[in-house]
Amino acid sequence: MATSYKELGLVNTKELFAKAVKGGYAIPAYNFNNLEQLQAIIQACVETKSPVILQVSSGARKYANATLLKNLAKGAVEYAKELGYSIPIVLHLDHGDSLELVKSCIEGGFSSVMIDGSHLPYEENIKLTKSVVEYAHAHDVTVEGELGVLAGIEDEVVAEHSSYTKPEEVIDFVKRTGVDSLAISIGTSHGAVKFKAEQCTRSADGILIPPTLRFDILEEIEKKLPGFPIVLHGSSSVPIEYVRQLEKFGGKLKDPVGIPEEQLRRAAKSAVCKINIDSDGRLAMTAAIRKVLTESPAEFDPRKYLGPARDELKKLYSHKNKEVLGSAGRA
């Protein structure tokens, strides 16, 4: 039986985005797939009084189970109240790739969906996105579309030449699809290795310093779509402390580099009103777990390593809400 997100106490993104664009901050979209991540997100967002988007990829939905997810989201709303402060909570599908998946998520209590047709030819992206918008809006669910392809270290296509969002397309895309928000490509990318080492400079102590995001493209898009909600994917900062802790306790990452916090702060003050963060949470959690398991080899109670991982995550999310996105105090 279908469940509306309203029955779960969730909200869609409409009002949240309108306030965020006006207020010059961004709503955090934190990916999750398990209990400790959800606890950390809710604890941090209640404590900092921040609205939040609980973001679930199709892989995460399969991992966690759709029925459990629906009830976890409902539980999150009640847990926030129990912690003493009711915050707006969105349950959002990340990188949806078909109308069938979107329908199934909406029936399962999602209040917002992304349809990612960014890899498709322009007209096909419009067709797919429009079909999702028609279905979602009939259920009062908001839709994020995407134009431009995020560069990845695995991509052979150099972003400078072909993958950034083309500002001349955005008005037509938004008008013809009816999307509520638009994800754009201005130099961010997914994962913990966001740039090739040769695209970066190196600080004296060997830390990679990435090229600056294309704020000129963002500004052009803002001029074309005044006040329209813009979304940034691939916005983890890959904090060096977590990389060092991970490596100290046996982990290995080749040339990790993220988006510096000051650039995200700058973006959050513009029409960017949703910032997606997944990799930083993975890093913080894994670094904490590695530390416990290395320092206490006899430990085998999962609560003894998942608990510290959850605490580290909560610290990370509170920091982001307060110091990077500016969402603290906006709930």
Binding footprint of Zn ion on the chain (CB under 5 A): 233
The correct pick among 16, 41, 60, 89 for binding ligand G3H (CB under 6 A) is: 60
Q: Any contact of residue 234 with ligand 13P (CB under 6 A)?
A: yes
Q: Any contact of residue 125 with ligand 13P (CB under 6 A)?
A: no
The correct pick among 61, 92, 139, 233 for binding ligand 13P (CB under 6 A) is: 233
The footprint of ligand G3H on residues 152-191 (CB under 6 A) is 190
Burial of 250 (0-12, 13-18, 19+ CB in 10 A): exposed
Give the whole-angstrom CA distance, residue 139 versus residue 226: 26
Choose one: 20-28, 56-64, 221-229, 237-245; the region binding ligand G3H (CB under 6 A).
56-64
Q: Any contact of residue 61 with ligand G3H (CB under 6 A)?
A: no
The terminus-to-terminus CA distance of the chain in angstroms comes to 32
Q: Which does 144 bind (CB under 5 to 8 A by kind): Zn ion, ligand G3H, ligand 13P, none?
A: none
Q: Any contact of residue 239 with ligand 13P (CB under 6 A)?
A: no
The footprint of ligand G3H on residues 99-118 (CB under 6 A) is none
Q: At what angle do helices 215-224 and 167-177 cross, to 10 degrees?
A: 40
Give the whole-angstrom CA distance, residue 272 versus residue 85: 26
Give the whole-angstrom CA distance, residue 329 versus residue 46: 9
Torsion angle, CA of 317/80/78/285, rounded to 10 degrees? 20
The correct pick among 279, 318, 321, 327 for binding ligand 13P (CB under 6 A) is: 279
Is residue 40 within 8 Å of residue 28, measured between CB atoms?
A: no
Is residue 235 within 8 Å of residue 265, measured between CB atoms?
A: no
Q: Any contact of residue 13 with ligand 13P (CB under 6 A)?
A: no
CA 133 to chain CA centroid, Å, is: 20
Give the whole-angstrom CA distance, residue 206 versus residue 229: 37
Comparison of 11 and 192: residue with beta carbon closer to ligand G3H: 192
Comparison of 93 and 328: residue with beta carbon closer to Zn ion: 93
Q: Any contact of residue 320 with ligand 13P (CB under 6 A)?
A: no
Q: Which does 236 bind (CB under 5 to 8 A by kind): ligand G3H, Zn ion, ligand 13P, none?
A: ligand 13P
CA-based angle 225:228:234, to the nearest 5?
Answer: 105
Q: Strand locations in 20-101, DSSP E?
A: 27-31, 52-57, 89-96
Comparison of 61 and 233: residue with beta carbon closer to Zn ion: 233
Q: State in angstroms the smallest separation of the CB of 269 from ligand G3H.
A: 24
Q: Which does 50 bind (CB under 5 to 8 A by kind): ligand G3H, ligand 13P, Zn ion, none?
A: none
Q: State in angstroms the smallest separation of the CB of 173 from ligand G3H.
A: 20
Q: At what angle do helices 167-177 and 122-137 cross, to 10 degrees?
A: 40
Give the whole-angstrom CA distance, residue 288 versus residue 307: 9
Give the whole-angstrom CA distance, residue 133 versus residue 150: 22
| 255 carries an active-site annotation | no
Q: Which does 235 bind (CB under 5 to 8 A by kind): ligand 13P, Zn ion, ligand G3H, none?
A: ligand 13P
Return residues touching ligand 13P (CB under 6 A).
31, 94-95, 190-191, 233-236, 276-280
Q: Return the active site residues.
A: 94
